[in-house]
Amino acid sequence: MIMSDRPAIYVIGGTCGTGKSTVAEQISRKLQESNPRIEFIEGDLLHPAGNIAKMTHGIPLTDDDRWSWLEKVADASFEKSKEAGSCIVTCSSLKKSYRDFIRNKHPQARFQFFILYGDKSEILNRVNHRASHFMKADMVDSQFNDLQLPADDEQDSFVINVTDQSVNQEVDEILAKINCRYYTID
């Protein structure tokens, strides 16, 4: 087995309220133990102001709202991964076409998608219980309507169940997949 020399980008996706930021922060801390240069990019910070305004007012984003944001996510994460060998980014990546767009933007990199998935009732519960976040419960239905979970034809993508696992269990599951992939030839 050898280590791949393509930079690796770990995308933590899923609908609002699945725990993307919470899980991604912990994963980056774990990975930084062996490589302090690995960075975590909060994908929500790359949205244009207009997208945040729409979501704050309970208006779901369209494909056209998302393309320029997805491009920034792909570009920013690729740049960081070239510096450190890998990086972590949160990005909902709800549709297959979005994941394809990101993959195809930088074929020199190895993107892996971890799509966190929780039952709608659990997600509503989480969104209702967090304070001062722009994404409110009225957006949950539209997020589930747009969600296309990866199927077998997306071998770089995994669905992580977040309904009945703790954050630590989710982090361990993702790290196991990252480590396993990192040391294989591709």
Ligand X SMILES: O=C(O)[C@H](O)[C@@H](O)[C@H](O)[C@H](O)CO
135 binds ligand X (CB under 6 A): yes
d(CA 51, CA 152): 31
User: Among residue numbers 22 through 61, which ones bind ligand ATP (CB under 6 A)?
Assistant: 22-23, 44
What residues have CB less than 8 Å from 68, skipping those under 6 apart?
48
At closest approach, how far in Å is the CB of 82 from ligand ATP?
25
At closest approach, how far in Å is the CB of 123 from ligand ATP?
8
44 binds ligand X (CB under 6 A): yes
By C-beta, is 94 or 171 nearer to ligand X? 94
20 binds ligand ATP (CB under 6 A): yes
Helix orientation angle between 49-56 and 63-84, rounded to the nearest 10 degrees: 120
54 binds ligand X (CB under 6 A): no
130 binds ligand ATP (CB under 6 A): yes
What DSSP line would sit under 12-52, residue for residue? EEESTTSSHHHHHHHHHHHHHHH-TT-EEE-GGGGS-HHHH
d(CA 149, CA 8): 21
21 binds ligand ATP (CB under 6 A): yes
User: Bridge-partner residues for 8, per DSSP?
Assistant: 86, 110
Q: What is the DSSP letter of 155?
A: T
At closest approach, how far in Å is the CB of 83 from ligand X?
25
What residue ranges bind ligand ATP (CB under 6 A)? 14, 16-23, 44, 126, 130, 135, 162, 165-167, 170
Binding residues for ligand X, rule: CB under 6 A, are: 16, 44, 61, 66, 92, 94, 135, 143
